[in-house]
Structure 1
Amino acid sequence: MGPLVDVVPSSDRMPRRAEVVVIGGGIVGVATALALVEKGIETVLLEKGSIAAEQSSRNWGWCRRTGRDLRELALIEASMRMWEGMDARLGRETGFRRHGILYASRDEQQRDRHLRWLEHAREHGFDSRMLSPAEVVERVPGLAEPLAGALETPADGRAEPQKAAPAMAMAAIERGLNLQQHCAVRTIERQAGRVGQVVTEHGAIDCQAVVVAGGAWSRLLLQGVGERLPQLKVLSSVLRTRPLELPIEPCVSLGGVAFRKRLDGGWTIASSATNLVELTPDNLRFARLFLPAYRVEHRSLSLRVGARSFDEAFHWRPGRADAVSIYERLRVLDPAPHAPALAAMIERLRSAVPGFAGLEVAQSWGGLIDTMPDAIPVISPVERLPGAFVATGFSGHGFGIAPAAGRLVADLVTQDEPIVDPRPFRLSRFEDGERIRAQHWL
């Protein structure tokens, strides 16, 4: 069972037409819908389950520039400016606080990699810096393990995943958004060679444009219109503790474990060093594209055959307008967390910071991260289907960059000047000869 998410009511009226239909009630879909209605665009947001029920409420809650892929720097910088004023913009609490983010340099090799990223950060005017071992202990009181230093960005921050997307959705409704939850999209239909209609389980909606922001479901939705999106899913396991008073303010990654303070006084604990990939037909289908990333990340990835391996092989198919779809049969992706990973995180944290020795686990959950071969998102028109746009594949970075990502999608839909250069995020990069590679700085 996932974390408890703030409840958002659906709109009363099921619409039959709109200018734009956004598919997916995660934080990127919600941020897109919010940006569209703020532009005065008649928008409907469709969600097969409920707002932020999947990965958008299950992530770490970090809003970071630290160690970002260089291609994402402009996007995260724009997002950080938007996060700063988000509560005032929405009139609601998202939990955003600027307390910094710190990545430990466990050895000199990693410290050198951090220093190389820092050179790029300074070119962009970031306040990132390298900390000495003594300075790390000042920022993380009670740290009991030796480090070579740490990379820190003091102006980075954190927000609450269980609050942020719902707060954005409520504000969007107040600005005119029509939100329909428990309303799965079965198909996207063409009219005169372009998007003309979205067929849902509750009827069809005529529209001029559609945005696919379905997270881990986006590949299947685009397959339904004949588009190939090389996207896979990675299981991330997270836990939260009961309130525990410790004098640590920044979000901290020590390698095998990462942690950050929550508004409720507890701590969110996770790790990017232990992620699980369940083998599915898509793993074979996209193996060639993902192989370079796997070679780099193989130490943090575990492969297994499980129930979802067979379920996806035999039951995951694009929807049909006249039949119950997989999106209706599986409203929420709610995978169990990987128990050995959780145990390893707790052991590592208690060893590194003895102040956590008395932590009590309040809840744990799993979430499926939508990943791309180069670990940056697709935010792009779908060239073979005019009127269709996609925003997905955020590879674990989506929460922090969602505000500007949503604005970029809205700019593409309305053909306004884009908030950042969209070229790095184009869908066609997987076919136009660009070298597909991930950048690894942390």
Structure 2
Amino acid sequence: MTKTLDAVHTTDQLPESTTVVIIGGGIIGVTAALTLAERNIPVVLLEKGHIAGEQSSRNLGWIRKTSRHFEDVPLALAADKLWAEMPERIGQSVGYKQSGIMFLAKTEDQMAMHEAWLKSVDSLSLDSKMLSLREINQHVPGGKGHWQGGIYTASDGRAEPSIAVPAMAKAAVKKGAIIVQQCAVRTLSTTAGKISGVVTEKGEIRCEQVLLAGGAWSRRFLGNHGVSLPTLPVIASVLRTTPMEGPTQIAVGGPDFSFRKHKDGGFIIMQRGKVDAPITLDHLKIGVKFRDQLKHGKDSLNIAFNGTFFRDLAMPRSWRASQKTPFEHVRVCEPKVNHGLLNDAMNNTISAWPMFKNTKIEESWAGLIDVTPDSTPMIDRIKTLPGLTVATGFSGHGFGTGPAAGQLAADIVSDVPPIVDPSPYRFDRF
């Protein structure tokens, strides 16, 4: 966990009933709670650990349209507007800046990939454009990399995960939402085949609707109710440098590194070309659904059979409401940092921009990411459990669309016209 994460102080009292219960205190659950509270819909958010304790504070903070699937861009466009309005909405800065995002291409194949994406979204009238090496050096001076070119979207940006999600949570409470931390939901209650409440470690809450926004924990929670959610875990390691004079305010993604300016003056850096993919039992159960991803992205996956398999295997996959759950055994998931990947990231960054040579690392962390077979989330009702909606499987790029994704989930729960067409996120597409 990043040590810059703001704490949120909330009640310990569990209400007897509400209209909507949200499971999960990441950016999706928090923005859904904020939206529902603003609509005067009674809502209780329950978090097994603390607000933004996992991937919602461990991501890079990028807010991008670039390289998203065509069907996912409208949600990103809606999120841009919501991010810009957020300081006025909640009365606090979240570090949002439209400072631009640039992706670099080292090979002709990588350049062709960016060109193909730009052509695919031509009808959306984005401000994305291809860059030459000369233009890259103008935007990000001091570089020594020999690039084929790049793609740049000036309206893309960034925000600070460690302050944004807590700030939204505090605003939601001020507007009427109830948030209870250190309170795991064990099971769903049903009456006549429909959701009627949730059973937590502190007791039961009656409700009309439940929104599950549990990130990487959602698959295990749904599995206990006989619903198979097709997600697998990967782990990304990230570092933050001490303050330094950097080349740009633009976030830069190379094939094997990325960096972006942090509010404290340092840079957030990772090895963009590799993530850890420890084998779990779920790989054996549903891995076939991910064969296309494995075929095209195997070079970016550091696949390993290690202690993660046995720790996962020892964790229950089914339980009763009276039993202690995995969510109580692991309040906050703390994956092991891969310092080898971070060393690669620093070396690759220094090779491209030598001004990073003498910088020092302030901290490092790792986050667990839930990935779907098509890298697109599920935001939809679960037909077999009437009254349950899920918003999960954001595949490592949920922070950027978070405000709009949370609002879309709130729209579905409260049965109002959705902020964007929800069909790309339907649960049954798999």
Deviations 1:105-143 (A, max 9, x none): 212222222112112333112111111110000111111
- Say if 2:172 is the partner of 1:172: yes
Question: What is the identity percentage for the equivalent residue pairs of Structure 1 and Structure 2?
Answer: 42
**Stretch moving more, 152-161 or 316-325:** 316-325
SS at match of 2:147: coil
Is the CA contact 1:14–1:180 (under 8 Å) kept in the aligned structure 2? yes
Instruction: For 1:347 and 1:176, locate their aligned partners in 2 and report how far apart those are by CA, in whole Å.
Output: 48
Is the CA contact 2:271–2:344 (under 8 Å) kept in the aligned structure 1? no
1:320 deviates by 2.2
Runs ≥4 residues deviating over 4 A = none
- Say if 2:205 is the partner of 1:205: yes
Q: Which residue of 2 aligns with 1:251?
A: 251
Residue identity opposite 1:230 in structure 2: P
Instruction: For 1:327 and 1:211, locate their aligned partners in 2 and report how far apart those are by CA, in whole Å.
Output: 17
Instruction: For 2:318 and 2:124, locate their aligned partners in 1 and report how far apart those are by CA, in whole Å.
Output: 42
Is the CA contact 1:3–1:57 (under 8 Å) kept in the aligned structure 2? no
- Say if 2:141 is the partner of 1:124: no
Residue identity opposite 1:107 in structure 2: T
1:40 deviates by 1.4
Residue identity opposite 1:317 in structure 2: R
**TM-score, with length taken from structure 2:** 0.98
Instruction: For 1:173 and 1:266, locate their aligned partners in 2 and report how far apart those are by CA, in whole Å.
Output: 32
Instruction: For 1:158 and 1:79, locate their aligned partners in 2 and report how far apart those are by CA, in whole Å.
Output: 12
- Say if 2:28 is the partner of 1:28: yes
1:406 deviates by 0.6
SS at match of 2:14: coil
Compared CA separation, residues 319 and 179, structure 1 to 2 (3 A): farther
Q: Which residue of 1 aligns with 2:59?
A: 59
1:226 deviates by 1.2
Instruction: For 1:152 and 1:376, locate their aligned partners in 2 and report how far apart those are by CA, in whole Å.
Output: 22
Residue identity opposite 2:302 in structure 1: S
Instruction: For 2:381 and 2:46, locate their aligned partners in 1 and report how far apart those are by CA, in whole Å.
Output: 19
Is the CA contact 1:5–1:57 (under 8 Å) kept in the aligned structure 2? yes
Deviations 1:170-208 (A, max 9, x none): 110011000000001111111111101100011100010
Q: Which residue of 1 aligns with 2:68?
A: 68
**TM-score, with length taken from structure 1:** 0.96
Q: Calculate the aligned-residue CA RMSD, in Å.
A: 1.1
Residue identity opposite 1:278 in structure 2: P
Instruction: For 2:217 and 2:353, locate their aligned partners in 1 and report how far apart those are by CA, in whole Å.
Output: 38
SS at match of 1:292: helix
Instruction: For 1:105 and 1:277, locate their aligned partners in 2 and report how far apart those are by CA, in whole Å.
Output: 25
Describe how 1:80-159 pairs up with structure 2 within 5 A: 80-159=80-159
SS at match of 1:216: helix
Instruction: For 1:385 and 1:368, locate their aligned partners in 2 and report how far apart those are by CA, in whole Å.
Output: 27
Deviations 1:201-220 (A, max 9, x none): 11100010101100000001
Q: Which residue of 2 aligns with 1:436?
A: none
**Stretch moving more, 303-312 or 47-56:** 303-312
- Say if 2:323 is the partner of 1:317: no
Unaligned runs of 5+ in 2: none
- Say if 2:44 is the partner of 1:49: no
- Say if 2:414 is the partner of 1:414: yes
Instruction: For 1:403 and 1:389, locate their aligned partners in 2 and report how far apart those are by CA, in whole Å.
Output: 17
Instruction: For 1:271 and 1:38, locate their aligned partners in 2 and report how far apart those are by CA, in whole Å.
Output: 39
Instruction: For 2:31 and 2:140, locate their aligned partners in 1 and report how far apart those are by CA, in whole Å.
Output: 33
Instruction: For 1:297 and 1:12, locate their aligned partners in 2 and report how far apart those are by CA, in whole Å.
Output: 44
